[in-house]
Amino acid sequence: MTQDRILQKTYSQKTSETEHGWYIIDAAGQRVGNLAVRIAWLLSGKHKPTWTPHIDDGDFVIVVNAEKVEFGGKKWDQKVYHRHSGFPGGLRTETARDVLNKHPERILERAVRGMLPTNRTRDVQLGRLKVFVGPEHPHQAQRPTGVTL
Element (H or E) spanning 83, and its range? strand 80-84
Asked if 39 contacts 63 with a C-beta cutoff of 8 angstroms, the reply is yes
CATH number, residue 109: 3.90.1180.10
Residue 97, number of CB atoms within 10 A of its CB = 14
Q: How far is CA 109 from CA 7, 48, 128, in A?
A: 44, 22, 11
Is residue 14 in some structural domain?
no
Q: Is 4 within a domain? A: no
Residue 122 lies in a domain: yes
Structural domain includes residue 12: no
2 lies in a domain? no
Contacts 24+ apart (CB under 8 A), 146-149: 146/23, 146/24, 146/25, 146/26, 147/23, 147/24, 147/25, 147/38, 147/42, 149/25, 149/30, 149/34, 149/35, 149/38
Per-residue confidence of the chain (149 residues) as pLDDT tens digits?
A: 555 667 788 888 999 999 999 999 999 999 999 999 999 999 999 999 999 888 899 999 999 999 999 999 999 999 999 999 999 999 999 999 999 999 999 999 999 999 999 998 999 999 999 999 999 999 999 999 999 87
Answer whether 62's CB lies under 8 Å from 23's CB: yes
The C-alpha atoms of residue 121 and residue 82 are separated, in whole angstroms, by 24
- Least Cα distance to 107 among 135, 128, 79 occurs for 79
Cβ pair 116, 122 in contact under 8 A: yes
pTM (two decimals): 0.89
- In-domain check, residue 5: no
pLDDT at 149: 77
pLDDT, residue 95, reads 97
Domain that holds residue 66: 20-146
Number of domains in the chain: 1
Look at residue 98 and tell me if it is in a domain: yes
- Sign of torsion, CA 139 126 68 107? negative
Strands 145-146 and 22-26: parallel
Would 117 be classed as within a structural domain? yes
pLDDT of residue 54: 87
